[in-house]
Amino acid sequence: MTKISLQEMTAYAKNYGFVFQGSEIYGGLANTWDYGPLGAALKNNIKALWWQRFIREEPNNVGLDSSILMNPAVWKASGHIDGFNDPLTDCRKCKSRHRADHLIEAQVDGFHADGLETEVLEAKLVELDIACPGCGAKDFTPIRRFNLMFKTSQGVLDESSQAIYLRPETAQGIFVNFKNVQRALRKKLPFGIGQVGKSFRNEITPGNFIFRTREFEQMELEFFCRPGEEKHWFDHYLEASKRFLTDLGIRAENVRFREHTAEQLSHYSDATTDIDYRYPWGFDELWGIASRTDFDLKMHQAHAEENMEYQDPVTNERFIPYVVEPALGVERLFLALLFDAYHEEALEDDTRVNLKLLPALAPYKIAVLPLLKKPHRDQATTLFNTLSKHFDVVYDESGAIGRRYRRQDAIGTPFALTVDHQSAEDGTYTLRDRDTMEQIRLNEEDIIRHVREKIRF
Ligand code: GAP
């Protein structure tokens, strides 16, 4: 891993087609990002591997795709209307706007202020003599709480329109469908329901590229178990989450567990541990693993007046299950993977950027490169057509072969296939490995077998 700054990563991601500024030709829209061809492919691969690991390979777990727009009563029950807010304070001198918890965290190494009451935060600002990062003044307005949900309205006519919200987490779509899924799939405890989808939060201070945005994607699993078994499943999913990260190629030393103190816990949780990644600005939250107790199902039972109990098929006991929730942001993992994979390497007569992504994550698995345009193009095109039925393949015939290899290395393509004069004679191609740069000759059938083996997760 070569350490580069966030600015350098932002420029790299743009130049190679991973991430562009949103609405760029109109001057952008603050903190919105569009995912280019490579970014879209990498995101899809991240989501597919999460689904594979946490849904497909877990016999107890099933998937869901619930609506972004939900009955507003859901957010009343979940506590988001009354309690989902950030502490906002303004500098009286330079008028800059801040999150009070972030001001304190920036001052005290390792301190995490999320979840603290307004009065506690105000006292800390004074006690720690915190100054405005913009102008150095120590004169802040009282903290105001700012609800993070995006409000919109449903219905065309003013009189019939209803205020609704864009979901701030995918989790509630799972809770409200708990009974539907349990009954339809005849699931027995313990079992999990997972989903991947967009969430929206009107963050006061978005930033750090794609780390904190107002529109983002979550991969959440709600794992339902008997009361008393939550500690076991909490530990299980904490370890499973860490293993997923290291299996994806994230270095263990760049990941740490951070347990929330009693004051930092969200209103729904009796234990939470975040998995932090070492971003260029320091360790910061990548993945939250929360023990949510029976809070959500109980609240929905009360507000919707619907029975949310589970009946044990053997003992006939009825109870509301407890929930363990590993909740991960797609973009935060995307960014961590890029930082971990990015390498600048000195070669004998050259330098190269090598994006050492796990082959399963790479946007393209194979680059098909005719050595010369005219004589090799037809065979290379036929090869592309065959391989693209199996893998994500890119075709490139422009420029010197060395330059084309460099470009593929820089976007993480694990294999480059060169079509040359020998290919026409014996149907073999040169397969070059991104990391070792070693080359072997294989025929089409062996290439498919070799690559399939290497991209298995
Ligand atoms: N259902 C629980 C929940 O949503 P959270 O800690 O608020 O918990 C889970 O969010 C994960 O979603 C975070 O660990 C992070 O990876 C991602 N996330 C949250 N807010 C985000 C934002 N504004 N931008 C990007 N990712 C975000």
pLDDT score for 400: 96
CATH superfamily of 350-454: Anticodon-binding domain (3.40.50.800)
pLDDT score for 58: 97
**Ligand 1 atom, smallest distance to 213 CA:** 24
Assigned architecture for domain 6-70+162-340: 2-Layer Sandwich (3.30)
- Ligand 1 centroid distance, CA of 214 (Å): 10
What is the DSSP secondary structure assignment for residue 360, as one 8-state letter?
Answer: T
What is the DSSP secondary structure assignment for residue 69, as one 8-state letter?
Answer: B
Residues having CB within 6 Å of any atom of ligand 1: 169, 171, 201, 203, 212-213, 216, 218, 220, 285-288, 325, 327-329, 331-332
- 8 Å CB contact between 39 and 16: no
Tens digit of pLDDT at every position of the chain (457 positions): 899 999 999 999 999 999 999 999 999 999 999 999 999 999 999 999 999 999 999 999 999 999 999 999 999 999 999 888 888 999 999 998 899 988 998 888 777 777 788 998 999 899 999 999 989 999 999 999 889 999 999 987 766 778 899 999 999 999 999 999 999 999 999 999 999 999 999 998 899 999 999 999 999 999 999 999 999 999 999 999 999 999 999 999 999 999 998 878 888 888 999 999 999 999 999 999 999 999 999 999 999 999 999 999 999 999 999 999 999 999 999 999 999 999 999 998 889 999 999 999 999 999 999 999 999 999 999 999 999 999 999 999 999 999 999 999 999 999 999 999 999 999 999 999 999 999 999 999 999 999 999 999 9
- 8 Å CB contact between 455 and 391: yes
Tell which one of 31, 175, 216, 328 to mutate to probe ligand 1, the residue whose CB is within 8 A of the most ligand atoms.
Answer: 216
pLDDT score for 162: 86
pLDDT score for 294: 97
How many CB atoms lie under 10 A from the CB of residue 188? 12
Q: What is the pTM of this model?
A: 0.93
Residue 49 and residue 47: Cα distance in Å, rounded? Answer: 6
Residue 285 and residue 337: Cα distance in Å, rounded? Answer: 14
**Ligand 1 atom, smallest distance to 170 CA:** 1
Fold of 85-147: Herpes Virus-1 (3.30.40)
Pairing of strands 282-293, 144-147: unpaired
Handedness of CA 93, 98, 104, 107 (dihedral sign): negative
Handedness of CA 50, 54, 55, 56 (dihedral sign): positive
- Ligand 1 centroid distance, CA of 211 (Å): 10
**Helix residue ranges, H only, 266-353:** 295-304, 330-341
- Ligand 1 centroid distance, CA of 332 (Å): 9
Tell which one of 285, 291, 292 to mutate to probe ligand 1, the residue whose CB is within 8 A of the most ligand atoms.
Answer: 285
How far is CA 120 from each of CA 114, 125, 129, 358, 371, rounded to the nearest angstrom?
A: 11, 9, 14, 44, 67
Pairing of strands 428-433, 439-443: antiparallel
pLDDT score for 448: 98
Nearest CA to ligand 1 atom 22: 212
Tell which one of 204, 332, 334, 337 to mutate to probe ligand 1, the residue whose CB is within 8 A of the most ligand atoms.
Answer: 332
Write down the domain spans for the chain.
6-70+162-340, 85-147, 350-454
* Alpha-carbon Rg for the chain in angstroms: 25
